[in-house]
Structure formats: structure tokens, C-alpha cells
């Protein structure tokens, strides 16, 4: 879970959207301003950026993480944003990104990086640092760029990548003057050349079988490269421990040890209170209250680059009819949901009516409004179901052709905020004759539950690795999307995406076309419902700097910064 999005828990610049669990809040949090002031918005990044000379050598960083998926290949469709988060610390960070989304090469890996149009085709040039090497001794060169392209291009359907967007537009990957001189040629002029190759796949992963199965339960640190390497992985205990990599050729990593520890959101805050972790997500009023009197910490609030959304499984008999999905999406009262999620945060935001762009980005359009959706329209939803032949039974639940309008709605957070959000939606849908069973499950089951479609309705985040929006459009809405598991894509929609969006080589025009088409897709499918974006709030030990350097997560907006620069102030 793309840019764009990943399940929040999926990939990065070269991965797109990612899946992430929606626990406390949207991307979580919001500034807690004085009670006498009006609601505040959160803008930009808030991550304590510091130059290396201000930071000390040494120290340990313990990071709570909501889940560790079984699939540990961050290019794979079953990976999630947390897999990318951990992987960033010991796999190549080829391209870096400023918080505003400006791409720049990582000098530890690249001596030069450029792109332009040559003979009517967009061409990328990489000159790889001659010192750059994988942990098993293999040089980082054209073989890695070629393997990464082939695995993600979609040409071999046996590979199951997170997204083929961008990759499928590449025509060739070749060596120039030598194997460290890499030339990537697209099939024509391409709008988003910067969207690929922020990360690399080891060239040993050169078959669909290895790509799909080798990383199941195994991080394969020998196929990694970077300032840190995995020292220990306790799969049952949910702990990943990293230490400085003696094969690293770049600037010395500042920290002596980095640990990712799987735990529930409330457990993470308790762990911070007990000095068992060094940072915790505090994106709801209840969690912020717990750290209000804690000394030696700072709370940061940044704009989240994530969309919280509802998704419906059209393969469920009760949800197979478009009219049912439209009615459910109409009846959900997003303003009430936001009131619950943001309660006590004194935070407000513009409606999140798109999964393509955030409301703070240029050319944003509220595609939900354009599709004709009215928020919390119980009356309209009941009429849709009446007209579609779903009759109300004596128990208040609708039925048609022997199918009861009953669905399971799992949640993967132990916070009261999350529970209240689910119960509110349950009550909203009861008003239109939909029986919703709320099922609270362990956060550790999040990724597996989602990817196996063990749900009828699901609430999660799609979190974005970059600001390119339309670049990852197919990952959102194509019929073979591994991220949008609503099953509502069609060949007709695929054709529209290709002809009306992907065929445009100008990024501005492509973005406008994508926003226009998105409202049509909503109206034709009603498989996903953007709910809100929210702020990102973390409470962190004082002095910890250059926070959240990974794509898809954190306080630094779209920022991707060198992990070796994370450390404590002197």
C-alpha cells in the first residue's frame, strides 16, 4: 500500500501507494491548541531537521510498529508500508526527497542522476558510486536496475508487484560506458520519470518464485545494502534489531542500534511512559492525554500524506450490487466520523474527496462531490435500496433474493477512538437496514487480513510515497490493482485510464485528467470512500532529530532522508 499509496501499511517512490493500518486517527493526530482558539489545520512537516554536526555519535532508537507482515519484500503486492519502513534502514536509498517532494540523488549511491527527452523518448541516466555494494559483495550496478524493472513492469504476470505504474512505461535498461553507468529509456515521453528507482531489488531476485516467496518471513539482509543491517529478527516476538553495517561505504551511521518493536497503539504509549521505546504515535486526544505530563519528550504534528478510507468487498454477496455499495457510501456520515477521530485535537481540514491528490495540493478537486455523493444521506440511501428491491425485514435488516444485507467490519486497533469510530458507522448503516458486525482484531493481523480479503468492509490508510498523484493512478483504480481490493475495477475503466490519463505526457494535464476521471470512477464503482487525511502526531524523546526518514510514514511530509543521519542532538 502508492506515489502513491500503500497499505499503512506499501512501497516507496518506486512503489507508489502503501497500505497502512488506521489506528488512532487518520494519519494520526492533530495539534492540541488552546481551548479558546478556533480549530487549527496542520501544514507541512514537523520533524526536527538537524545537520549531522549538531548530532552526537551513539545512542539507541526503539520504534514501536503496529504490524510486521509475513511478506517482507517491499516491492510485492502483499507487502505494506511498515515493511518499507523497516526495509529503508538496510536497503538502498537511491533517491532522496525533500518534504515538498523534490527529488535528489543520494550521493552515497549515485555520482550523477539526470533525465530528459532524447529522440522523442524520456531517458534516465544514473552513474552509480563505484563503492556501492550489496551486503553479499555483489556490485550495485545495471543488473539491479534491470531486475527491479523486470519484476515491476508487469510483462511477466507471474511476478506480483505492488504497482506496475511507471515501470510498465520503460522500454529498456542498459549499461552505458560500464555497468555502473545505467541508461533507462522509456517507450516515449513520460510525465513522471522521477517516480521510479528510489529503491532497488537485488539482482539475485531474478525469478517470479524468488520475488514472490523468498521474502516470506525472511528479510534477507544479505540482499540489502546501507548504513545498517539486521542483527536479529524475532518473528514470534515481533522485534527487528539493526546495527551499523561494517560493509557500508558512506558516512558513519549515528546510532548504535535501531529496534522496531511490534505492539498495539495503546501499548506503544505505555511503553514510552515506561522508557521502553523512544517515540510513539499519539494521534488522538486519549493518547495525547497520557503523555501530557511526561517529561523529556516533545510532541510533533505534521501534515499526514495519507488517506483514511472505507473499502467495500464487491465479492461479498451482500455487496455485489452497485446500488448497495452506493447506498452504504452515501449513508456513512464522514463529518461525524471526523468529529470522533479528531475529538479533543482542535483540528480541522478540507474534505478528502480524492485518493489522487490531497486537498492541500494544486489541482485538487473533490471528486466525491462531483460524483454526486451527499454526506450522511440516509434518506437517499434508503431510496436507492428500496428501488433496487432490497426489502426491510422484521428485524430491521434488508434482504433480497435470500441474501441478508449483513456485513463484517473488522478493526485492528485497541484505542477507544477507533472503537467509537466503528460503532458510529455501525449505527449509521443500521438506519438503512444494513447489519454491521464489528470485529476487533489484533493489529498484527492487519496486513494478512486485508490482503486475504478477510472482510466485507475495511477501514485503512493509503499512504503516499511522493506527491505525484496521477502517476500511480492505475494502482488505485485498474482492475488488477493489488492495493484497491474492492474488486470494482473493470476493463472499460482500465481503457479510460490508459486513453484519458496515462497517454498524456504533460504532468499538469495528466493530473487534471485524472481528477476529472476520478469522479466518474467513483460513480461507476462505489468501491472506495476517502474519509479524511488528518495530521501525523508523534511524541518523541527530546533531542531525537531527522525523524521518520522513510517513505510512507511520519512527520516529514513527503521527505525521504538518509537513515544514517537520524540521531540525538549533542
Mean pLDDT of 133-153: 98
Q: Does a structural domain hold residue 262?
A: no
Determine contact, residues 259/239, Cβ cutoff 8 Å: yes
Give the chain's domain count: 2
Alpha helices (runs of H) in 342-478, residue ranges in sequence order: 367-370, 378-387, 416-430, 446-451, 473-477
> In a 10 Å sphere around its CB, with 0-12 CB exposed, 13-18 middle and 19+ buried, how is residue 394 labelled?
exposed
Q: Does a structural domain hold residue 21?
A: no
3-state secondary structure of 309: strand
360: pLDDT strictly greater than 70: yes
* pLDDT at residue 40, rounded to an integer: 67
Q: Does a structural domain hold residue 272?
A: no
Q: Does a structural domain hold residue 328?
A: yes
31: pLDDT strictly greater than 60: no
363: pLDDT strictly greater than 60: yes
234: pLDDT strictly greater than 60: yes
Mean pLDDT of 49-62: 98
Q: Does a structural domain hold residue 496?
A: yes
Share above pLDDT 70 across residues of the chain, in percent, rounded to a whole number: 93
Mean pLDDT of 62-76: 94
Residue 380 shares a structural domain with residue 481: yes
Closest CA to 1 of 78, 64, 93, 68: 78
Strand partners, 493: none
Mean pLDDT of 355-373: 96
| pLDDT band, very low/low/confident/very high, at 19 (cuts 50, 70, 90) | low
Q: Does a structural domain hold residue 562?
A: no
Helix axes 507-525, 322-331, angle to 10 degrees: 100
2: pLDDT strictly greater than 60: no
113: pLDDT strictly greater than 70: yes
Residue 385 shares a structural domain with residue 489: yes
**pLDDT greater at residue 17 or residue 266:** 266
The domain boundary, picked from 164, 187, 213, lies at: 213
Which CATH number goes with the domain that contains 127? 3.90.76.10
Q: Indicate left, alpha or beta for 380 from its phi (over 0: left) and psi (-120 to 50: alpha).
A: alpha
Residue 336 shares a structural domain with residue 197: no
* pLDDT at residue 81, rounded to an integer: 87
* pLDDT at residue 39, rounded to an integer: 62
CA distance 180 to 547: 32
CB atoms within 10 A of CB 372: 13
Mean pLDDT of 530-556: 94
Determine contact, residues 552/81, Cβ cutoff 8 Å: yes
| pLDDT band, very low/low/confident/very high, at 36 (cuts 50, 70, 90) | very low
Q: Indicate left, alpha or beta for 16 from its phi (over 0: left) and psi (-120 to 50: alpha).
A: left
30: pLDDT strictly greater than 60: no
Lowest mean pLDDT among 63-72, 131-140, 321-330: 63-72
| pLDDT band, very low/low/confident/very high, at 439 (cuts 50, 70, 90) | very high
CA distance 318 to 398: 10
12: pLDDT strictly greater than 60: no
3-state secondary structure of 430: helix
Closest CA to 180 of 226, 122, 237, 141: 141
Strands (E), 273-400: 279-281, 297-303, 306-312, 391-392, 398-400
Q: In the structure grid, which three cell numbers stand for residue 568, read together?
A: 540525538
Q: In the structure grid, which three cell numbers stand for residue 408, read together?
A: 463484517
CA distance 215 to 219: 6
Closest CA to 316 of 138, 199, 85, 487: 487
Give 498's DSSP letter.
I
CA distance 31 to 348: 10
| pLDDT band, very low/low/confident/very high, at 226 (cuts 50, 70, 90) | very high
CB atoms within 10 A of CB 301: 24
Q: Does a structural domain hold residue 286?
A: no
Alpha helices (runs of H) in 29-91, residue ranges in sequence order: 81-87
Q: In the structure grid, which three cell numbers stand for residue 113, read together?
A: 542522476
The domain boundary, picked from 151, 180, 213, lies at: 213
17: pLDDT strictly greater than 60: no
236: pLDDT strictly greater than 60: yes
3-state secondary structure of 521: helix
Q: Does a structural domain hold residue 201?
A: yes
Determine contact, residues 216/160, Cβ cutoff 8 Å: no
65 membership: H or E segment, kind and range:
strand 60-65
463 membership: H or E segment, kind and range:
strand 457-464
What are the CB-based long-range contacts (under 8 Å, 24+) for 419-425? Answer: 420/340, 421/337, 421/340, 421/341, 421/459, 422/459, 424/333, 424/336, 424/337, 424/340, 425/310, 425/332, 425/337
* pLDDT at residue 41, rounded to an integer: 76
Residue 372 shares a structural domain with residue 504: yes
Determine contact, residues 269/280, Cβ cutoff 8 Å: yes
Mean pLDDT of 60-83: 93
Residue 203 shares a structural domain with residue 337: no
CA dihedral sign of residues 153, 157, 160, 162: positive
Which CATH number goes with the domain that contains 456? 3.10.105.10
100: pLDDT strictly greater than 90: yes
3-state secondary structure of 111: strand
* pLDDT at residue 18, rounded to an integer: 55
Domain encompassing residue 176: 101-213
The domain boundary, picked from 151, 186, 213, lies at: 213
CA dihedral sign of residues 57, 62, 66, 71: positive
Residue 364 shares a structural domain with residue 476: yes
Amino acid at each position: 500500500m502508492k506515489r502513491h499509496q500503500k497499505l499503512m501499511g506499501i512501497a516507496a517512490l518506486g512503489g507508489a501507494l502503501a497500505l497502512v493500518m488506521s489506528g488512532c486517527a487518520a494519519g494520526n493526530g492533530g495539534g492540541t491548541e488552546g481551548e479558546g482558539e478556533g480549530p487549527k489545520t496542520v501544514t507541512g512537516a514537523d520533524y526536527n531537521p538537524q545537520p549531522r554536526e549538531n548530532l552526537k555519535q551513539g545512542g539507541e532508537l526503539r520504534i514501536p510498529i503496529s504490524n510486521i507482515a509475513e511478506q517482507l519484500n517491499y516491492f510485492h503486492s502483499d507487502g505494506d508500508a511498515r515493511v518499507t519502513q523497516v526495509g529503508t534502514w538496510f536497503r538502498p536509498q537511491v533517491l532522496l526527497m525533500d518534504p515538498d517532494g523534490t527529488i535528489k540523488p543520494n550521493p552515497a549511491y549515485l555520482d550523477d542522476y539526470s533525465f530528459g527527452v532524447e529522440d522523442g523518448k524520456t531517458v534516465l541516466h544514473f552513474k552509480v558510486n563505484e563503492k556501492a555494494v550489496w551486503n553479499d559483495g555483489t556490485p550495485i550496478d545495471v543488473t539491479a536496475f534491470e531486475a527491479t524493472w523486470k519484476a515491476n513492469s508487469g510483462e511477466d504476470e507471474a511476478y506480483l508487484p505492488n504497482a506496475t505504474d511507471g515501470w510498465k512505461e520503460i522500454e529498456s535498461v542498459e549499461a552505458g560506458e560500464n555497468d555502473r553507468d545505467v541508461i533507462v529509456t522509456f517507450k516515449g515521453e513520460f510525465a513522471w520519470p522521477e517516480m521510479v528507482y528510489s529503491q532497488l531489488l537485488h539482482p539475485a531476485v531474478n525469478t517470479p518464485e524468488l520475488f514472490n516467496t523468498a521474502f516470506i518471513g525472511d528479510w534477507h539482509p544479505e540482499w540489502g545494502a546501507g548504513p545498517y543491517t539486521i542483527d536479529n529478527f524475532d518473528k514470534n516476538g515481533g522485534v527487528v534489531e539493526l546495527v551499523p553495517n561494517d560493509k557500508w561505504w558512506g558516512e558513519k551511521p549515528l546510532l548504535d542500534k535501531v529496534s522496531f518493536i511490534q505492539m498495539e497503539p495503546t501499548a506503544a504509549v505505555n511503553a514510552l511512559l515506561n522508557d521502553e521505546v523512544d517515540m510513539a504515535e499519539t494521534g488522538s486526544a486519549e493518547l495525547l492525554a497520557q503523555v501530557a505530563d511526561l517529561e523529556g519528550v516533545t510532541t510533533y504534528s505534521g501534515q499526514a500524506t495519507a488517506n483514511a478510507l472505507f473499502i467495500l468487498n464487491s465479492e461479498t454477496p451482500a455487496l455485489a450490487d452497485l446500488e448497495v455499495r452506493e447506498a452504504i457510501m452515501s449513508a456513512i456520515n464522514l463529518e461525524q466520523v471526523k468529529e470522533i477521530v479528531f475529538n479533543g485535537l482542535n483540528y480541522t481540514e478540507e474534505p478528502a474527496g480524492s485518493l489522487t491528490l490531497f486537498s492541500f495540493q494544486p489541482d485538487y478537486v473533490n471528486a466525491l462531490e462531483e460524483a454526486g455523493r451527499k454526506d450522511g444521506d440516509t434518506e437517499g440511501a434508503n431510496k436507492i435500496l428500496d428501488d433496487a428491491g432490497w426489502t426491510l425485514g422484521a428485524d430491521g435488516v434488508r434482504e433480497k433474493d435470500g441474501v441478508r444485507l449483513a456485513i463484517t467490519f473488522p478493526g485492528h486497533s485497541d484505542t477507544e477512538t477507533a472503537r467509537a469510530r466503528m460503532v458510529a458507522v455501525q449505527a449509521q448503516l443500521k438506519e438503512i437496514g444494513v447489519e454491521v458486525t464489528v470485529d476487533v482484531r489484533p493489529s498484527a493481523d492487519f496486513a494478512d487480513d486485508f490482503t486475504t480479503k478477510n472482510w466485507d468492509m475495511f477501514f485503512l490508510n493509503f499512504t503516499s510515497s511522493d506527491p505525484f498523484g496521477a502517476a500511480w493512478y492505475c494502482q488505485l483504480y485498474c482492475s488488477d490493482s493489488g492495493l484497491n481490493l474492492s474488486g470494482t475495477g473493470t476493463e472499460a475503466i482500465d481503457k479510460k485510464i490508459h486513453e484519458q490519463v496515462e497517454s498524456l505526457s504533460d504532468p499538469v494535464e495528466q493530473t487534471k485528467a485524472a481528477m476529472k476521471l476520478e469522479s466518474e470512477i467513483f460513480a461507476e464503482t462505489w468501491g472506495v470512500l476517502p474519509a479524511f487525511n488528518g495530521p501525523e502526531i508523534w511524541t518523541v524523546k527530546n533531542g531525537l532529530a531527522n525523524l521518520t526518514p522513510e517513505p510512507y510514514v511520519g512527520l516529514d511530509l513527503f521527505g525521504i532522508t538518509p537513515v544514517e543521519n537520524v540521531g540525538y542532538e549533542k
